[in-house]
Amino acid sequence: MRKCIFFDRDGIVNESPGPGYVEHWEDFHILPEFIDILRIVTALDYAAVIITNQRGVGRGIMPLATLEDIHRRLQATLREQHGLELLDIFTCTHDHDAHCECRKPKPGMILAAACKHSLDLANSWMIGDSPKDTEAGRAAGCHTILVNPSATPDLADLTFGSLVELRKKISAILNPDLTAILFDIDGTLLDMQGIGRESFVRTLKTTFDIEDELDGISFAGSTDLDILRQVMERHQRTLTAGDCDRFHTQLPIALESAAHHAELTLFPGVRTLLETLSNAPDIILGLVTGNVEACAWIKLRQFNLHNHFVLGAFGNEHADRNDIARLALKRVEARLKPGQTIKACFLIGDTPNDIAAAHAINAVSIAVATGKFTIEALKEAGAMVVLPDLSDTDCIMEIVAVSSLASSPLAPKSRTSSSP
């Protein structure tokens, strides 16, 4: 579904005709501020739809054919002179006494546009110069902007005294700076009940004919590549790139097979937290995990969590978790749109290595005691926030909100897109 900006017409798209109507194309003067705003919203991949009451037709003052001709010429002018497109124009030509469902402040035209074009109303905006416009937008479930020098804040989500003011702010409104939240998997989100280690042991045997129960090797906070290197060193074997590729191909096969027969654990609050975070438009979720990438997605799929994460960095890419975190941050930065910044970055994990990785990328470290380390140990390791688990979604959302403020002492240095 596509996001959309719904524009009122008179006073927003073109100069207001006052109490009358624009009855001729020659009297239809497109506002330059609208051109600028349309160019910005188009660049941000929003559709643009005009929603306009034109009861002059219903009153017999102007024929419908004239109105339609004006709108055709408007679309042609935008396309030919400015390289811009309107997705559609919806018009209510009824008079007040028709008691229709389309005339603003009723949301009929917006709802019809959403139905016709599969628009995401919850992430769309209605921009107008009358409370009727914003009332219609709110009734349809949109965010609202009122452009009127006498507007009061209660009439819309945002109010501006003029289109000039709105033009200066529209990019920041529609393209908010991002908060990046990066998650470890094992011990933080879920517990595979030992089948990760079992799969590792089995794959060592099938791939290299090495029998090793991995005694003395801790998986907590480690990476698959580092563990593989440790095993090969103690068996006095040289680890080649080809060896890594073969092992990383076979390990997910063993894990997926074992996962089908295991009783796995999803930690308290994880599902609710991820659903809440992934629904926030200014939050991007990623992974910083020591797992081979294919194994990471297998584990998340066991609980249908995989769709919440849009990127990650993995244990087959680096042996050092700090380097994995740096790679994940680079991938977040690569997704920034021009002018967009990362206003805060968080790394959530259950080990001192996760905390060190957070420090390596100047992220706020949130540690959870759902793994092998106690709250006291995680505090001593330097976590900025330590929680028993992820069950208190409201608390975590408050931490994210406070730390994302520029004035917060927890907020890391802002990072800006390098895109032109």
> Is 88 a catalytic site residue?
no
Mark 315-337 as b/e (b = at least 16 C-beta within 10 Å): bbebbbbbebbbbbbebbbeebe
What's the token pair of residue 416?
């800006």
> Is 215 a catalytic site residue?
no
344 to 229, 379, 392: CA distances (angstroms) = 34, 21, 20
Report which secondary-structure segment, H or E, holds 48. strand 47-53
Residue 35 to residue 174: CA distance in whole angstroms: 16
Residue 333 to residue 45: CA distance in whole angstroms: 19
Q: Which residue has the tokens 């030992």?
A: 194
Interhelix angle 32-43/163-174, rounded to 10 degrees, is: 0
Q: Specify the amino acid at residue 41.
A: V
Residue 218 to residue 260: CA distance in whole angstroms: 24
- For residue 3, the number of C-alpha atoms closer than 13 Å in the C-beta half-sphere is 15
Candidate list 10, 88, 133, 224, residue with the active-site label: 10
Candidate list 8, 184, 186, 350, residue with the active-site label: 8
Residue 357 to residue 353: CA distance in whole angstroms: 6
Active site residues: 8, 10
